[in-house]
Structure 1
Amino acid sequence: MIRKNKQALTALVLAASVVTSGFSSLSASAEGGDQTVHWTREQASNIVLNQDNTLPYTDIGKLEKLAPGYHVWDTWPLLDRDGNIASFKGYKVIFSLTAPSDVLPGKVHDIATIRYFYSKNGKDWTLGGELFPKGTALGSRQWAGSAMLDGDQIHAFYTATGREGEKQLTYEQRIATATGKLVADSKGVRFENWSEHRIILEPDGKYYQTKEQAQQGEGGGYAFRDPMWFKDPKTGKEYLLFEGNSGGAVGERALEQEYVGSPEYARQHSVPTGAVHANGNIGIAEVENGDLTKVKMLPPLIEANYVNEELERPHIVVKDKKYYLFTDSHINKYAEGLSGPEGMYGFVSDSLIGGYQPLNGSGLVLANPPANPYQAYSWLVLPNLNVVGFAHFGNLDGMSIGEIGNQSPEFQFSRFGGTLAPTVKLSIKDDRTKVEQQYDPGWIK
């Protein structure tokens, strides 16, 4: 049962009355110790689009398809074990979620398959095929992940969604891995000798919400996906970042001061009861003894309780000895009483664990232009601060994304990008970012 209004208001009054010299608007979670910090309603309320964070307008209809015959969306590059863009015998490799181009855009996630592309110049990509041999990957379909190359061995991480062989489509999400061999020769690039696929992470119900917990009470979402491999250059330790939701059912989540912000802000702003359904977080797990099949789950790095429901595809770039943590979110995933664009958001800290502050005061790093609010999504910042994403929906003439599924198939196909969006150059100085320029779609420098 959802907390009653009176309970939420009581919590807010308590939050507003607590004044201590050590209070910070981005305070640490008591349970997570110094690790978990909160993206607060106060910080998110500062989101404003400006020339530094707004992308140029993209005419979706004029973009060339990366893979004619397929829709392409979430994309990630092959990295080496030091976290750089890998080059193997002169080839770069990227991986994308794909589906046949005759599938309606709203159905692509139901049949998503990981395919790969390779290129020598990072601009002109050749479709290699499916990453895994048919029938070997876990889940009824596979969602986004990451890949790391060590010598000629590829370590692939992905989201196993649903269960293989299920008769009715489900949205259970687990994190899986497999190891294979990368081969490059006169015939192109291919993968061989895959190991058995293994599940290495599932939500624990404490820090990360299970599917069963998410189904208790109306509203809210469920996520345990998007594993992103990361090596800490300061320590040499390896980790997986992932998207999750804060553990527990909706009815167990009371409003806390650290979700709101400063006492001054809390005194002036009430929190709608329905905001309880927003509980997105960014999780982390540590690789044990260099064995990439064994990872130890840690408390979340970021929680967005009462702020945002989805913090997708989290990843870290280290620059000037600072850790820049990026994530993507949608317009319709903000908690009641808050608003923000389809955009990429970011936080900065002097250490991998703890201390994250929102970039640009609000967290917003880049956003689609108001005239084309859904033109791109699923951005990923590369080590050189180039940002890749995919072309989503364009030229909707004020229509919300929730209305697209009610339109004719012809309308949907004509407005859906399903290919890579223009690459964007980002600059960063301390806790400030700026969109500098735009390159050709899919340019992996």
Structure 2
Amino acid sequence: MSEMPATSHWTAEDVERIDCSTAPCAPVIPAQRRVIEALDLWDYWPVQNVDGHPADIAGGTLFIALSAPILPDPDARHAVARMRLLHRVDSEWRDLGPVLPDGFSPGSREWSGSAILSPEGGTITLYYTVAGVRGEVETSFAQRLFYSCAALAVQGDTITLSPWSEPVEFLTPDDVHYSRDMAGGGAVGTIKAFRDPAFFHDPADNQDYILFAGSIARSRSAWNGAVGIARRGVDQEWQILPPLVEADGLNNELERPHVIMRDGRYYLFWSTQTKVFAADGPAGPTGLYGMVAGRLFGPWRPLNGSGLVFGNPPSAPFQAYSWLVLPDLCVQSFADLVGLAEPPRDVVQARAHFGGTPAPELRLIIDGHKAWLA
């Protein structure tokens, strides 16, 4: 009988331990030079080896980022998002164009995921979120998890991925652990989650897993975020499992969850925003949060006693988002509303401050049940 997670809980009592006057925060981000002048970029991730380390490809790292044309309202980018392929060598970025051909994806837009290079280095498997439905007239909140594979070819500094295999929907919400209703209130921060698939290979049992942002089924609370997990069976089919962590009654979105291993322990990280904490409870800063366990299925304990690893600084509480911690403890994110101390007055101010490009990388130090910025 395969093991099942014993769901751990991120609670109001944990978050109440955050003292906003002394909470750890990232350094202030200065205005950033765009990687691609004509596009907004956000939520980016490297092509990784099975062990989670970024793969060395053509002397650098392949990245996939969400992208959109520079629209008057930067929030409108979510409704037209497409994955973009980039190659970085040292600090130089090169745009390689859309990841998937036009009209290829089954949805109206593409959201976050992860990408894994095969051990022999010849194939990339892309796990990603299909948002909406192809050809829909009104933008819907439907979220589905798909994978597709492509052959990787490198000749000199020319990198090609082709042809992509037909996308396969490999996981669906069961309405037992994870809600099938994605609409929520329909406003930013209220929609529900079945997105952000992140691959993890557990050396303890030599099995492959997918973590994802989910919403608890049949919750009585509007704030019902969870870190979901699924396991690949011997038949290559994915089995949905109970959540690793749930934040029922506390928080609506535990976004882009992922696990790394360090010194024999498992570290689970996710991103969340102040505005998606329950209105009648404690709230932490927009930031990187995490838990630690001795095994993948827990029990999980909040890092630093509260779960908060670091937040955006009080003088720039919206400056970055969507943090990804790599096995070497490098932390990647994107520049969001840079240099803005209060929520934007209007879309003109939001556009003027939206970074839309990778943020400066940070680095963590981890010691047992504590983690902090180097």
TM-score category of the 2 structures, normalised to the smaller one = over 0.9
Structure 1 letter corresponding to 2:346: Q
Q: Distance in 2 between matches of 1:39 and 1:408?
A: 34
1:92 equivalent in structure 2 = 61
Matches within 5 A, 1:364-443: 364-397=308-341, 399-400=342-343, 404=344, 407-409=346-348, 411-436=349-374
Matches within 5 A, 1:278-427: 278-289=223-234, 291=236, 294-335=237-278, 336-397=280-341, 399-400=342-343, 404=344, 407-409=346-348, 411-427=349-365
- Contact 1:78-1:146 within 8 A present in 2 as well: yes
CA drift of 1:299 comes to 0.3
Cα 1:408–1:244 change in 2 (3 A) is closer
Q: Distance in 2 between matches of 1:324 and 1:107?
A: 33
Q: Distance in 2 between matches of 1:215 and 1:359?
A: 31
Cα 1:320–1:333 change in 2 (3 A) is same
- Contact 1:140-1:164 within 8 A present in 2 as well: yes
Match status 1:206 vs 2:149: no
Structure 1 letter corresponding to 2:335: A
1:77 equivalent in structure 2 = 46
CA drift of 1:339 comes to 1.3
- Contact 2:71-2:77 within 8 A present in 1 as well: no
**Larger Cα-atom Rg:** 1
State which of 145, 158, 167 in structure 1 corresponds to 2:137. Answer: 167
CA drift of 1:408 comes to 4.7
Q: Distance in 1 between matches of 2:43 and 2:162?
A: 23
- Contact 2:183-2:191 within 8 A present in 1 as well: no
Instruction: Give CA-to-partner distance per residue, 1:250-305, whole Å, 9 cap, x none.
Output: 5xx3xxxxxxxxxxxxxxxxxxxxxx2111000000012273xx211000000001
1:145 equivalent in structure 2 = 113
Matches within 5 A, 1:83-122: 83-121=52-90
Cα 1:64–1:246 change in 2 (3 A) is same
Structure 1 letter corresponding to 2:132: G
Structure 1 letter corresponding to 2:232: V
Q: Distance in 1 between matches of 2:253 and 2:25?
A: 21
Cα 1:212–1:331 change in 2 (3 A) is closer
- Contact 2:41-2:68 within 8 A present in 1 as well: yes
- Contact 1:97-1:114 within 8 A present in 2 as well: yes
Instruction: Give CA-to-partner distance per residue, 1:322-379, whole Å, 9 cap, x none.
Output: 0000000001011122111000100000000021000000000011000110000000
1:269 equivalent in structure 2 = none
1:127 equivalent in structure 2 = 95
Cα 1:290–1:131 change in 2 (3 A) is farther
Q: Distance in 1 between matches of 2:307 and 2:36?
A: 33
Cα 1:296–1:33 change in 2 (3 A) is closer
Query: 5+ residue gaps in structure 2?
Result: none
Q: Comparing both structures, which one devotes a greater share of its residues to helix?
A: 1
CA drift of 1:91 comes to 3.2
2:150 equivalent in structure 1 = 180
Instruction: Give CA-to-partner distance per residue, 1:198-230, whole Å, 9 cap, x none.
Output: 1111211110011178579xx953110000011
Q: Distance in 2 between matches of 1:163 and 1:209?
A: 18
Question: Percent same amino acid at aligned positions?
Answer: 36
- Contact 1:327-1:346 within 8 A present in 2 as well: yes
- Contact 2:330-2:362 within 8 A present in 1 as well: yes
Structure 2 letter corresponding to 1:387: V
CA drift of 1:187 comes to 5.2
Query: 5+ residue gaps in structure 1?
Result: 1-31, 254-275, 437-445
Q: Give the aligned CA root-mean-square deviation in angstroms.
A: 2.0
Secondary structure of 1:211's partner?
A: coil
- Contact 1:238-1:290 within 8 A present in 2 as well: no
Structure 2 letter corresponding to 1:299: P
Secondary structure of 1:414's partner?
A: helix
Match status 1:46 vs 2:14: no
